[in-house]
Amino acid sequence: MKLSNIGIAMLGDERIPVMMRLENECIKRMKRLAEIIKDKVKYYNGESPNVVVAPKVISSIKDSK
């Protein structure tokens, strides 16, 4: 059976001053969520899923492409 990957991305605010303030905290939260998933989620054979975290917070349509 093929194991599925889990992807985590966060959508942010398009307002530049808001994103400048919150981006680092958002990235920390995404990484923490990935750690929790790796620790708590187990497949029937005991393996944890591969968790992929987006390299940055998506704040516009251009960022998501």
Predicted pLDDT of residue 14: 83
- Collect all residues with Cβ–Cβ distance below 8 Å to 14 and sequence separation of at least 6: 59, 60
Please count the CA atoms within 13 angstroms of the CA of 53 that sit on its side-chain side. 16
Greater pLDDT, 46 or 51: 51
Predicted pLDDT of residue 16: 84
DSSP helix, strand, coil percent of the chain (3-state; round to 5): 45, 10, 45
Predicted pLDDT of residue 13: 83
Angstrom CA distances, 57 to 17, 24, 28, stand at 14, 9, 11
Domain spans, the chain? 6-55
- Binned at pLDDT 50, 70 and 90, residue 1 comes out as low
Flag the least confident range among 7-11, 30-34, 41-45: 41-45
Q: What is the mean pLDDT of residues 7-27?
A: 89
